[in-house]
Structure formats: C-alpha cells, structure tokens
Amino acid sequence: MNDAPKNARPGKKATAPKETPPPTSEASVDKQGKQIFVHHLTRVEGHGNIVVSIDHNDKIETCRWEVPEAPRFFEAMVLGRSWRDIHHITSRICGICSIGHQLASLQATEEALAIRPSEQTHVLRKLALHGENMQSHLLHLGYLVLPDLLNVDSVIPLAQSHPKELKNLIALHRLANEFSRVISGRTTHPQRLIPGGMGKLPTAEELKDIRKQLEDSVPKLKAAAELFAALREKFPDFERPTEYVALVSEAEYPLYWGDIGSSHDKRKPARFYMDTAKEYMVPHSTAKWARNVKQSYMVGALARYNLNHAMLHPLARKVADQVGLTPMSTNPYFNNLAQLVEVVHSVEDSIRHIDRLLTKGLKREPYPKVEPRAGKGVGAVEVPRGLLFHAYEYDDDGRIVRADCVIPTNQNHANIQHDLDELTPTISGKSEAEIELTLSMLVRAYDPCISCSTHLIDMSGQEGGRGVRFVREPKAGESRKA
C-alpha cells in the first residue's frame, strides 16, 4: 500500500509517472499521466498520504487520502485491567487529547460501576477540557495553519517575518498549558482526574491567579481575531453540503456531556453512539472510516459551531462575526476559524466556572467508595478534533471484558475523502504546487490526529473485509450494542 516513489521524502511531494500497465504502443505512452504524491503530509499528527492522478490533459482523475500507519491496540491493552487503571492507560492514546480521553474513560467507568461524581468535580473536569481545547487549537492555529496563510513552509520563518503575531499566539498557548497544569496537575496525561472525583484539588490562590491570566488574555485574543480576519481570504473558497455531528445541549455549548446531535438526523443519547458512528474499512487505510445518514459526516470545531453557535458566549460570537464565520458554514477550511472562536469561548466559560467555584468555596471531598460490579458504560466528550466515545464492559471483579474507542479523526476520514473528490475537479489545470497546497490545506483544516485513528488491520484487502476486533465475543442472546 505504501507505494511512495523512491525520491519521496516525508512531507514532500514527489511527481512520478502514473502507474499504468506497460505501454504497448507509442500512442499509449502519450496518454500516460502523472501522480502528485504527498508522502507523509506535514503539520499533522501522524502519517497520511495524498495521492493525485493527473491525465495527459492536466485533468485530475482521482485523489486518494491514505492512512498507512501501523494499527494501535489500546482496546486490547485494557482487557483484563482493573477499573482503577483504565483512565490512566487510555489517556496515553493521544498526547494532545489525553485529558479528553481520560474524561471519556472516566464517564464510561462511572456509568458502568454506578459512581456519581460531585458537582464540584464536574465543574473542574469542564475546566480541564477547556484547557485542553485551548492548548490544541492554539498549537494548530499558530504553528500548523498560519504558515499556509502566510505562504511559508513552517512556523520558523514567521519568527522573522511576523514576530509580533507569532509571539502573541505563543503567549496564549503558554497560558493554555499553565491552565491545564493548574487544573489537571500536568499539561498532558493528567493524574488528578480519577473515578468519582479529584486526586488533588487546585488551591483557591491558583484558581484566582489563572482567572486573572485568562482575563488578561482578552487583548491577545482580540489581536489573534484581527490577524485571522485579515487572512480570511487566504482560505480557499470551497463549499460542500455535509452532515455535521457533535454533542448538543440546551444548557451550554457542550464539550463535557450532552446528547449526540446531527444536522441531518434525530438527536440520540450517547449510549446509542453505534447508531451514529457506523464504522467500516477501506483497503487503503489502517484507520476505520464512519458514516451516518449521509455518505460521510464531519466532527470537530466546525460541527460544534454549526450545531451549538447559539450557546456561545458574547465575545466568542463577536469574534465569529469578525472572522466571517456564520452557521451553517459548509466550508471545511473554516474549521480553523471555528477553532479560534472556541478558544475565545473557552476563556469566557472558564472564567465563569472559576467564579462559581470560588464563590462556593473549594471543598475537599471524601474519596468515593467503589464496589466493583459487572456493568456497561459509555463516555462521550468533545475533544479538540471532535466527538470521542469510549464504551466499556466490566465483569463482577471490575475488570474490563470489552472496550471500544471511537476516535474523532476516524469519523472524519471519509469526509476528508469526499471533500477531496469534490474539490479536485475545481483545481484541475492549476500548477502542481497549487494543487498540493490546496489539498494539503484541506486535510490540515481537519487538524487530524492520524496516529490515534489507527485501531485495526484489514487482513483481506477488501472493502468490508474482516478486521481484528478486540472485543469479547458476545454470549448467547447478547447484542454487541452497548
């Protein structure tokens, strides 16, 4: 599957003769086209390839999004492990979304074992999720997206050409890291978030300090909004009607919990996640793809914005107006604008939650007494790249007998491919450099976490073929659905 030309380098495009059967006549040689092979697309998490076939008239025939990474087997790793360990193991699925994975894991375990966290714990978890959202979005916008908009290959030249703008985004990113450390104990792979509560609380002084830093960040957020508003025209003008899926709630802009919402389907409780995330396999990907009522759907910041924009805080709404983001936006490149809007919302919402905690006073709560028992649970949280599900089944001793993790990028792979299919005819005839940049920007707009999305191997090479599923075989009369 990994048929990179010999001169291909990670992140570099290589132009190679299109692979066709050996020519049998001079005329057939004339009909040969060429390939643009973006081997290991840069400025994304993990490894993915873009393969473009162009005919002799410079018309793009096909464009394929490949995921060649070796599968990872986290669902298998947790089998037989105690409920006390699962959230620590599953946070290692991702170095960027470790807090989100840990919270989805905790939700699933708590539902299965009937553990009821306090209101204070829920508020602290929401703060942890805001910190992670800010960390990831600012990293992506500042270091991975901005170079495309300013016509350079990486963030490094921006230190010379746009030092003020870059330092502003770095300062915001540093604040997000510190915010995560104060709430979760670490900037990644947190230790304070445990089943039923918190292993250690932040102090009131730490909360007051981080609140002041969040409040002081508003001028920097406004400067970032001005920057991206000025660069808005750099995003390609491309629209494709799409199904959007995200958590929805009447109470807030939901990241921590809610029902599963869709722009094209009825609302469902999270425990019915398999009725929305219908996963399948394709031969050229080690990651699963997903569909719901349409041929594909999108999760992530743009999906959340389209479904929940009415719940944004005032400054976030103002920033959305400033950068020209309106619901229902169907331009996938604008996922990056939605990420910026969410950063502003996270700052506003975090200040509100911290005020709530300080007004009530932080209380050290007793460690929850947990009685292991057999049970099933589903966790659903919004992480930076979209909707994340963890589903577990425990035995009588509180050990995992079945696990299923549905990663946001898994759910986006099919939508990326369908976007590429519809985008490529519009850029036929452009230079190879323009084609490569336009397609690479599209994939990067999704902020894909490719490594986290590879969960199984298709041994057959056939669509719908048998994969390796690390789940306990259901007993007679049991349904696989959680």
Q: Could you tell me the two tokens for 354?
A: 């911290």
Q: Are 258 and 249 in contact (CB under 8 A)?
A: yes
94 assigned to a ligand binding site: yes
Of 50, 37, 52, give the one whose Cα is nearest residue 5.
37
The residues, ordered by sequence, that sit 6+ positions from 422 with a Cβ below 8 Å of its Cβ are: 240
Neighbours of 194 (CB within 10 A): 20
Output the CA–CA distances (angstroms, integers) from residue 61 to 14, 56, 72, 429, 442, in the order listed: 17, 10, 33, 12, 18
SS3 state of residue 339: helix
What's the CA gap between 396 and 159, in Å, rounded?
57
SS3 content of the chain, % helix, strand, coil (to 5): 45, 15, 40
Nearest C-alpha neighbor of 456 from the set 470, 464, 468, 465: 468
- Is 452 known as a binding-site position? yes
State how beta strands 197-198 and 193-194 pair.
Answer: antiparallel
Judge contact between 15 and 32, C-beta under 8 A: no
Quick count: other Cβ atoms within 10 Å of Cβ 212?
12
DSSP 8-state secondary structure symbol assigned to residue 392: E
Binding site residues, as ranges?
A: 75, 94, 97, 449, 452, 455
Binding site residues for Mg(2+), as ranges?
A: 75, 455
Binding site residues for Ni(2+), as ranges?
A: 94, 97, 449
Binding site residues for Fe cation, as ranges?
A: 97, 452
